[in-house]
Each structure stands twice: as C-alpha cells, then as structure tokens.
Amino acid sequence: MSGRQRLKNKGGVMLQNANTDKRKILVVDDDENVRLLVKVLLSRRGYEVETAPGGMAGLAALSLSTPDLVLLDISMPDMDGLSFLEKRAQAGHERDIPVIVLSGRNSDADVAAAMNLGASNYVAKPFQQDRLLDHIARFLPQPTAPMPSHAVH
C-alpha cells in the first residue's frame, strides 16, 4: 500500500504516516512562521516533516511517531526546549533520536545547557538555510527522490 494517511491532530500535532523511505524530521517551535519556513525548506529537499507548536506537543509527537531527527527551539511558553530535553532523556528509545537546537537564545550558557542535556548540535537563529541543511546532513543523509519510471517499448 502506498500513499499517506493523516493521523489525528493530538495536542496541536499534525502527523502524517507515509509508506516511503523519507527521513522524518520533527520541528518543535512555538513560532508558526519558523515551523512553516523549515517545513517548506526540508520538504523541498525530500524530508518528511512533522511540526509541533511547543514542547508538550513535541513530546506527544515523539510518543505517536518516531522521527529520525528533532529540530527544537529553546524559548517556548508551555515547556521550554531544555525541559523537553530533560523529559526526552527520561524516555525510552526517543533519547537516541538526534536533536538539533534551533534557537535565538545563543549565549554560551544556553548552548552548554542544551548540549549537557543531550542536544546533538546547536544552530543560532536567524539561520542560513544552507547552514541548517549542513547541520541536518551530519545526522541524516538527504533523501533521494524516487526516479520516475519510464516504460521501455
């Protein structure tokens, strides 16, 4: 069976289940514009992208679907990114999923705190698209688009 199935919107999390070999990235950020920008950027590169509008919704997404990588903001109202990292560390297999922090909080203390709590990398906002893609590629190779099939006569 091929195609996509839309799962329930649970806690603000829109999940899609695809029967493809796409690499799945979960974007957790309270800024809708950032979520949309990153989703468009990554979707155009062949990644499957799920979004969550905050830390609580991000944790719910981890329990419903297993992404290959998480992009995580630090400053969010319901649960900040550092609390997300702490709770993720207490979880089962989710703690092995790489997390790249994508945040406007870029002090040495913020970076150190995130890395000490298990972040795999830290990218400052505003970010350059190519730089973000390079950081993601360190953990996930860019998916290859399927080749169109042509009938040979």
pLDDT of the residue at 110? 95
Neighbours of 50 (CB within 10 A): 23
Q: Average model confidence (pLDDT) for the chain?
A: 83
Q: Report if residue 105 sits inside a domain.
A: yes
The total of structural domains in the chain comes to 1
- Full domain range(s) for residue 97: 4-137
Q: Report if residue 50 sits inside a domain.
A: yes
pLDDT of the residue at 74? 96
Q: Report if residue 151 sits inside a domain.
A: no
pLDDT of the residue at 144? 64
The CATH number linked to 128 is 3.40.50.2300
Of 25, 29, 24, 26, the closest CA to residue 103 belongs to: 29
pLDDT of the residue at 89? 83
End-to-end CA distance of the chain: 27
List per-residue pLDDT tens for the chain, 153 residues long.
Answer: 333 333 334 444 444 444 346 799 999 999 999 999 999 999 999 999 999 999 999 999 988 888 999 999 999 999 999 999 999 888 766 678 999 999 999 999 999 999 999 999 999 999 999 999 999 999 987 776 544 444 444
Q: Report if residue 145 sits inside a domain.
A: no
pLDDT of the residue at 8? 38
Q: Report if residue 142 sits inside a domain.
A: no
pLDDT of the residue at 19? 38
